[in-house]
Each structure stands twice: as structure tokens, then as C-alpha cells.
Amino acid sequence: MARQKVGSIGRALLRHRGATSTVPALACGGLASNGPSPAAAQKCCRGGETCGSEAPKAPPHRHHVVGKKRSEESLTVSGRAYSSTAPKINHKTYLWARYNEMKRLVHDLIPPGVCNLLNPSNIYANNEVNLAEVDIYGFDYDYTLALYSNALDAMIYDTARDFLVKHYKYPEGISKYEYIPNFTARGLHYDIQKGLLMKIDAFHYIQLGTVYRGLKPVPDEEVMELYGGTNHVPLHQVSGFYGKGPKMKQYMDVFSIPEMTLLAAANDYFITNDIEYDPVHLYKDVSVSAIGMVHIKGYMYKWIMQDLEKYILRGDETYAVLDRLASHGKKLFLITNSPFSFVDKGMKYMVGKDWREFFDVVIVQADKPHFFNDCVKPFRRLDSNGDLQWDKIKSLDKGQIYKQGNLFDFLRLTGWRGSKVLYFGDHLYSDLADLMLRHGWRTGAIVPELEVETRVVNTEQYAQSLTWLQALTGLLERMQVNHTCQSKKVLEDWLKEREELRAVTKNLFNPQFGSIFRTCHNPTYFSRRLCRFSDLYMASISCLLNYDLSYTFYPRRTPLQHEAPLWMDQLCTGCMKTPFLEEMAHIR
């Protein structure tokens, strides 16, 4: 069935290409399709056309004409004038005919029922990875081996909010702000001084329509004013290496969703009640003190350990992944910032009391990202009670638990270097950036949001809206050479429809901020870094169960802007893996 879907899209694409190539392009007043110069266009408008007239007059001199009409058009050759007998072109009618023709093509391209092409269990490749060459698999713990339910976000939010009121004497009214699931999204930037939450694209432009002060959107004009007449934010403000510029912070952690929501709620309270405040103080009190307290004082660990069933998702699949890798002779290791008692309890729940049998090296409280780039802290061993030992670490042994340490000692003691190591983590900066850029391990990003976003992409509404949005954009690109007043009105209507389509496709993901991967058409700041710091990315490590351990992941060869899209690569690799996954179902 899925193969048939892919085939029908392929045929529709080919029909589409063939059809568009036969569409005669129309330039101003019927001139050549490559587009007249601005001067020519002005001349054309001045040259006799009456705005709004149904049959514009021909410009006085025509040197080029289009297609079949060529012989019928008036020409000036060697001073001799030939008058035309052809009917005058109605620009408005012509443009709407192209529009309707494109609509029909899009309908053929995405006929009803052709959706559900993406499987949420796919693994996507930014870079070619051959699993046959990977002998050693490493894992982060939180949001990598252990995925958590949304109930945890609400608990973090409630506890930090109450801490603000009780310990920092924030107004009682803030207690009335309940947690709003899905108000924010991972990868957003927060302007610390202005108290604004926003989405920024790969080129450092704020996506207009996605800037929030408190719980309310900031109008586009005000955003432009706030940033000096532009929506571009300079590099030095947005980005240190780990996403912390002097004026902005990027929230890259899955744990940061409740933190962003609390910032929005607290800002909203002060704004709504017209209370003067400094957003910098608010940021420090929320992010450093209240949220920090939840993590540092171990509240979060306590809640999870007290009710594993409520907070931990898909433990069986974590067991299946580790069991499969170990039974194929792969070496496994764990590097986590969490404490041993917490990891031990969670792993016993998901994998069983003998979970440590799967791992050759276990490192807790590693202090990533410093673990990957400092060589200061030596490893320390914990005894079976979790107490620190003082012996010098000369080897990393199976069955032992180590704390702190650094990657340089890890590499020296294990010899696990280069492409034979694949490390999975959810934090692009703390887990993956240094490994990719400095150490040459292969990296796999865990992006749990892929599951929800894939569900949206698989809907008929999204598929049709996006395809029509792209087709309309292409139409605008080709037809913008029409400068008559009639044409301009049509193009304005199309631009308006394009804006509406952009809003529709954005809101399907998240009404405030849209997809975490794209602004309107650009990759987000998050997305660009995901491509840069990960070889592979997937919704959870359980996606590995769909692939043979000698499988090679090939990235899609997406045409660069200057390249002709000569290959139908999208039909072979990348997203269209549904048929393959059906065949591999026996692995699970």
C-alpha cells in the first residue's frame, strides 16, 4: 500500500513537471518570460495600459514575444511596423487561469488518502552512518534511556511557581497561573532584558508572529521597533557556544519547557496588573533560583523515584534496545549528569535489577558539557553503597560505578575513539556538540518532539496546505514579472493567501510558536544546530529496533539552491521508509 502511495506521488510529480514546463510564461504586456528590466516594466505601465481595464493596450515597441503568439504580435523590424490582429491579453484572467491550473496539479499531487507517509519510528540521517562499523554505543540517561511523561513538566512548574511565592515573596496572584501544556516549545530564545520569548531562524531572524511577552503576542511592528528597526538579532547576543549569549538564552533542554512557561506566566502577572518590575531580576529568580532549586535540591529525582510508573515512559523498549545491542556483541556505556541512586532506581524499573550487566562503563554526575572539554576532574569510584572512594583510577571496569571524570581520561583508558563509537543524547550542546566538533564520535540526537510533529505532518490538512503553499510560492516567483496594475492586484491577493497558509501550517504544530524545526520555510536556530551536531536523529532510542545492526543510513541529497533537482532521491531514502519498516517489523 505504502509503495503504491510513493509511486502515485512520483507519477504526480512527473506529471507536474511536464505540465508546468508547457505553461507559457507571461511577462509584462506579453513580453519575454524571463522578466523585463524595471525600466522596461515602468515603460510598460506607462506605455498605455489603463489600470483595471480588461484589455490593456500593447506597449509601443515590442522586441520579444512569447510562444505561439509570436507571429501574430506586432513587431518592429528595420523600421517597418506590423500591426497585430491578436486579441489583447487580459492579465487578470491569465494569472487566475495559471492559479487554477496549479490548484488542479496540487490536487493530483496529494490526492485524498495519500498522507501517513512518515513513520514516527524512523531514524533520520544528517550524515552517512554504517552501523556495521559501530562497535560501541554510549548513552545519556534523562530523555535518552529514560523518557518522561508530561506529568513531570506540570510538577516542575507548580513547585518552582510556589517557591517563587513562598521564598522570594512574589505576589500571591502568580499562584493562580496553572501550567499550560504546549504553550512553549524547545529551542526558543528568551530575551532576558526585555522579557520576551521568541523563535529565531538559522539566519538569526526572529520569526514575526512568534514573539511573546508574558502570555500575549507582541505585534510585529513593536518587535521591529524593539530591535532597532529589524527582526535580526546579532550573533554575539544570541549565541555563546552553548546557546547562552549575554542578552539571550536558548532553551535546548526538554526539561526547560516548564521553565519557559513559568517565565511567561510571571511576566504576564506583572504586565496584566501593571506592576513595575525588572525582567532581569525575574529571569534570575525563575531560572536560576526557583527552577534551579527543583533540580539541584533533588525534588525532581524524588518525585520520579516515588512514582516511576507515572513519570517513566516506554521502559520495555529501553530494555529491548540494550538487550539487542549487547546480544550482538556491542560494548555499551552510560555517561549521565544524574546521581547513581536515581539512575539505578529508574534502570531497575525499565531494564531489571541486573541492568548493569549490559554496560561496560557507567559514569554518573559527569558534569557534561564540561566532561567533554575539560580535562581537570579525575574519575572517582563509588562503592556498592554509593560512597566515594579515594583510589586512583587506572582502568574503567565493568561492574563499577564512576563519578565525574573527563573524556580525555575516558579515551585514554578505553581506547574508544572515532567512528566506531555512537553516542546518543537529547541535549544538542551538552551531549553532542563537543563530541561532533572536537572528538569525532558519531552522534545520535533524541528528539521526542518528532513523534507529535510527525503526526501533524501525516495529516491530510498539513500535506495539502503545505503543498499548495509551495506551489503558490512558485507561482508568485514566476509571475512577479507582471507589473500591470491588474497583475499587481492579483499578486497581492496571492501574497495574502500565502501569509494565511503560513499561519495555518504553523498553527497545526503549536499556535504560539509552530514547529521546532522550521520558521515559515527556513530551518530554525534549533534545527540548524541539530543538523550540525548530530549524524542521526530520532524520536527515541527504540527507533533502533526497526533497523538491522549492519544498516547504513544515507542522508537525503537535498538539492542546494544552485543545483537542478535531477534526482528523485526523496522517493528512495530519508522520509519514505514506510515500506522498509513494514518489512523489518519482525525485528521488534
Q: How far is the CB of 301 from Mg ion (least distance, A)?
A: 14
Residue 493, annotated as binding a ligand: no
Q: Determine if 344 is a binding residue for Mg ion (CB under 5 A).
A: no
Q: Which long-range contacts (CB under 8 A, 24 or more apart) does 158-166 make?
A: 159/294, 159/299, 160/258, 160/259, 160/262, 160/286, 160/290, 160/291, 160/293, 160/294, 161/262, 161/265, 161/266, 161/290, 163/289, 163/290, 163/293, 163/294, 164/262, 164/266, 164/285, 164/286, 164/289, 164/290
Does the active-site annotation cover 344?
A: no
- If the CB atoms of residues 191 and 426 are measured against Mg ion, the closer one turns out to be 426
354 marked as binding residue: no
CA 182 to chain centre: 15
Looking at the Cβ atoms of 140 and 449, the one nearer to Mg ion is: 140
The binder of Mg ion chosen from 28, 35, 102, 142 (CB under 5 A)? 142
Binding string to Mg ion for residues 96 to 135, with x set by CB under 5 A, is what?
----------------------------------------
Phi and psi at residue 124, to the nearest 5°: -110, 145
Q: What is the dihedral of CA 179, 181, 187, 193, to 10 degrees?
A: -30
Of 143, 252, 239, 238, nearest in space to 188 by CA: 252
| Residue 424, helix vs strand vs coil | strand
Per DSSP, the residues of 19-50 read HHHTSPP--GGG--TT---HHHHHHHHHTTPP
Q: Is 142 annotated as a binding residue?
A: yes
CA distance 199 to 443: 25
Report the residue closest to Mg ion, judged by CB.
142
Output 368 or 403, the one with its CB closest to Mg ion: 368
The stretch among 101-109, 143-151, 301-309, 368-376 that binds Mg ion (CB under 5 A) is 143-151
Window contacting Mg ion (CB under 5 A); options: 140-148, 278-286, 301-309, 515-523: 140-148
CB of 143 to Mg ion, least distance (A): 4
| Min dist. Cβ of residue 252 to Mg ion (A) | 10
> Looking only at residues 206 through 265 of this chain, which bind Mg ion when binding is defined by CB under 5 A?
none
The rounded distance, in Å, linking the Cα atoms of 249 and 447 is 20
Q: Which is nearer to Mg ion, 142 or 259 (CB)?
A: 142
Residue 143 binds to Mg ion (criterion: CB under 5 A):
yes
| 3-class secondary-structure state, position 198 | strand
204 grid coordinates: 538569526
- Nearer residue to Mg ion within complex by CB, 332 or 471: 332
Residue of 108, 135, 142, 162 marked active site: 142
**Which of 49, 140, 191, 453: binder of Mg ion (CB under 5 A)?**
140
Site string for Mg ion, 58-87 (x = CB under 5 A): ------------------------------
Site string for Mg ion, 417-446 (x = CB under 5 A): ---------x--------------------
CB of 341 to Mg ion, least distance (A): 17
Q: Supply the DSSP string of 135-170, one letter for each residue.
A: -EEEE-TBTTTBEE-THHHHHHHHHHHHHHHHHS--
**Which CB atom, from 96 or from 299, has the smaller least distance to Mg ion?**
299
Least separation in angstroms between residue 527's CB and Mg ion is 19
Query: Which of the following is catalytic: 140, 153, 409, 535?
Result: 140
In the complex, what is the shortest distance from the CB of residue 427 to Mg ion, in angstroms, rounded to a whole number? 5
- Residue placing its CB nearer to Mg ion in the complex, 424 or 468: 424
Give CA 260 to chain center in angstroms.
Answer: 18
Cβ proximity to Mg ion: between 140 and 317 the closer is 140
CA distance 45 to 58: 10
- Closest by CA to 423, choosing from 354, 557, 330, is 330
> In whole angstroms, what is the distance from residue 456 CA to residue 244 CA?
31
User: Can you name the residues that pair with 401 across neighbouring β-strands?
Assistant: 362, 382
Q: Residue 126 Cβ, how far from Mg ion at the closest point, in Å?
A: 19
142 carries an active-site annotation: yes
Pick the closer one to Mg ion by CB: 141 or 547: 141
**Cα–Cα distance, 81 to 61 (Å, whole number):** 9
- Residue 555: CB minimum distance to Mg ion, A: 24
Q: Minimum distance between the CB of residue 146 and Mg ion, rounded to whole angstroms?
A: 9
Q: How many residues bind Mg ion (CB under 5 A)?
A: 4
Distance of CA 321 to the CA centre of its chain: 25
The runs of H, that is alpha helices, within 314-383 are 315-327, 340-350, 370-373
Q: Which residues contact 114 (CB under 8 A, 6 or more apart)?
A: 5, 8, 9, 463
C-alpha–C-alpha distance, residues 135 and 550, integer Å:
11
Known binding positions for GMP: 142
- Which residue numbers are catalytic? 140, 142
Known binding positions for Mg(2+): 140, 426
Known binding positions: 140, 142, 426
Residues that bind Mg ion (CB under 5 A): 140, 142-143, 426
